Amino acid sequence: MAPHIRHHEMFINGKHVDSPESDEIRDPATGEVFATIARGDVEHADAAVSAARTAFEAGSWSRLAPADRSKVMREMADRIGKEFDELVDLEIHANGATVRQATAFHIGYAAPHLLHFAELADSYQWERQVPTQAYPTLSTNVIRQEPLGVCAAIVPWNFPLLLGIWKIGPALAAGNSVVVKPDEKAPLTLLRLCEIAQECGVPDGVINLVTGPGPTVGARLAEHPDVDKVAFTGSTPVGREIMRLASGTVKRISLELGGKGAQILLDDANLDVAIDGALFGCMLYSGQICESGTRLLVPDDMYDLVVDRLVDRASALKLGDTTDFDTDVGPLISARQRDRVLGFLDSARASGAKIVLGGGVPHGSRFAEGYWIEPTIVTEVSNDMEVAREEIFGPVLCVLRYADEADAVRQANDTQYGLSAGVWSTDYERAIDIAAQLRAGTVWINNWHQIDAALPFGGFKQSGVGRELGEHALDEYTETKHVHIDLTQRVERHIFGALLSEPLR
């Protein structure tokens, strides 16, 4: 192994744990291996679940006062801030984000979002008393929110730290133990988060990280009888499989899956905002975001004008060194993903669509290595084409025509997905009316990618189950318990007579 390639281990029960096998972590911009990670197996998943269960039962985190959990989590958020540059660097090299995007989103959102969950631990209504009731017997009732137990967090490579925090944050705030399964291509920022958690006082076993292939390690966590909840972000087919595996022990699940977001450009849109905004909505992080707006619906009579302006602006996007603040667009995550995107573009050409910008690997020696695709605009797309129906996960904007508003809404909703949608318009009443008709978990009017930790995020239809973030985020990581306290000591006031017909003598 070359001396500059650092090896990383899993994190189980507060200790680093190696395995005989490892996976290479490559910089997607160059294809070069810069680190390796232990490849875990089912036995590591089992060890992590066992450690998580033991820690949960011991109560040193699960029964800690919420305010004390909050304090530890605030320190963790603070540490993310202090290690910001190192985390940005790790993310850029593992998942190919540009430094501007990693700074703004991938790592930029991490500390504030963790802080949101720390604050929820403080403000959440853990217990509430219902007013005393006199009938049928004098009683008082308490409603409690209690931790679930062991939560598994299965996380993809696109925003590993952030999407991990969306699961680990509410799980820890509620007093659960966690087993994290990152994608093997980009596990290092989450590994660092586990170490930070321990350094800030999270007890051993409360947070564990197991690496390894999804179909072995991830699947084991999804089916494990001692895991109470699985939270997953990734593709819809894997989400379906996780739902099936989790059903064996009727686990709680939350799934955040694929998308095929439609951006509806209305004829009254401010085109300066809408053109730049549509490209931002689709091309950010090379289109590898589940909520990207990958279908742009344009009025028939504005189609040529809009396409010309899109091509003009998208031609100016700069590809290159991901560590350079001047770079706009980085690579895709892997050779497999690049080839998959090229396959979708072949399918678009074969079905009669036109590629008016990009469509291949960029020219130049810099792009010969690594996994690059040019920003691509596909026109004359109809909604039944594969390129309009499948989640491409690349910098590919499909431009479709619509006849009238009803047609735009019909096409926008004609998809198995329902994660995001949006409207570009200067008429807010019209835009809000359309937003109400769009079957998606988030609708942006005149913007995209606006994700706020205080507001719920998740999908309609096959884009998922449940919501992450928002003021109710801890509901997904707690069980609700009703405790009835009967205050009646006179046996004749009780309704035991429903069983015992003989009065007490």
Query: Is 469 a residue that touches ligand NAD (CB under 6 A)?
Result: no
Residue 61 vs 157, nearer CB to ligand NAD:
157
H or E stretch at 399: strand 396-402
- Residues 162-199: b if buried by 16+ CB within 10 A, e if exposed: bbbbbbbbbbbbbbbbbbbbbbbbbbbbbbbbbebbbe
> Looking at 96, 147, 205, 218, which residue binds ligand NAD (CB under 6 A)?
218
Question: Closest residue to ligand NAD, Cβ-based?
Answer: 214
Using rule CB under 6 A, residue 242 touches ligand NAD: yes
- The CB-of-204 to ligand NAD minimum distance in angstroms stands at 24
Could you say whether residue 391 binds ligand NAD (CB under 6 A)?
yes
Q: Looking at the chain, how many residues does it have?
A: 505
Q: Does 223 bind ligand NAD (CB under 6 A)?
A: no
Nearer to ligand NAD, 170 or 234 (CB): 234
Judge contact between 402 and 300, C-beta under 8 A: yes
Residue 458 binding ligand NAD, by CB under 6 A: no
Q: Dihedrals φ, ψ of 421, to 5°?
A: -160, 170
Rounded to 10 deg, the angle between the 188-199 and 84-95 helix axes is 150
Among 90, 162, 190, 238, binds ligand NAD (CB under 6 A): 238
| Closest separation in Å from C-beta 214 to ligand NAD | 2
Compute CA distances 474 → 55, 117, 229, 253, 273, whole Å.
20, 8, 13, 13, 36
Question: What CA–CA distance (Å, rounded) separates 382 from 384?
Answer: 6
Per CB under 6 A, does 177 bind ligand NAD?
Answer: no
State the catalytic residue, choosing from 83, 91, 223, 256.
256
**Which one of 101-109, 118-126, 155-163, 352-360 is the stretch in contact with ligand NAD (CB under 6 A)?**
155-163
Going by C-alpha positions, the residue among 279, 288, 334, 302 that lies closest to residue 447 is: 279
Q: Name the segment binding ligand NAD (CB under 6 A); options: 107-115, 238-246, 356-364, 422-430.
A: 238-246
Options 158, 292, 327, 383; binder of ligand NAD; rule CB under 6 A: 158
Say whether 386 is catalytic.
Answer: no
Q: State yes or no: residue 165 binds ligand NAD (CB under 6 A).
A: no
C-beta of residue 446 within 8 angstroms of C-beta of residue 424: yes
The three-class DSSP label of residue 275 is helix
Query: Facing residues of 423 across strands?
Result: 264, 445
359 sits near ligand NAD (criterion: CB under 6 A): no
- 390 has catalytic annotation: no
Binding of ligand NAD by 40 (CB under 6 A)? no
Residues touching ligand NAD, count (CB under 6 A):
24
417 neighbors 312 (Cβ within 8 angstroms): no
Query: Min. distance of Cβ 387 from ligand NAD in angstroms?
Result: 13
Residue 423 and residue 264 in contact, taking contact as beta carbons nearer than 8 Å: yes
* Minimum distance from residue 467 beta carbon to ligand NAD (Å): 14
Considering only 178, 222, 231, 373, the residue that binds ligand NAD (CB under 6 A) is 222
- With CB under 6 A as the contact rule, the residue among 13, 36, 140, 235 that binds ligand NAD is 235
H or E stretch covering 132: strand 127-133
Q: Dihedral of CA 463/468/472/474: which sign? A: positive
Q: Which of 64, 76, 114, 154: binder of ligand NAD (CB under 6 A)?
A: 154
| Alpha-carbon torsion (47, 53, 57, 63), positive or negative | positive
**Residue 241 contacts ligand NAD per CB under 6 A:** yes
Q: Are 422 and 444 in contact (CB under 8 A)?
A: yes
Between 101 and 158, name the residue whose CB sits nearer to ligand NAD. Answer: 158
Where does this chain bind ligand NAD (CB under 6 A)? 154-158, 181, 183, 214-215, 218-219, 222, 233-235, 238, 241-242, 256-258, 290, 391, 393
Give the residue numbers marked as catalytic: 256, 290
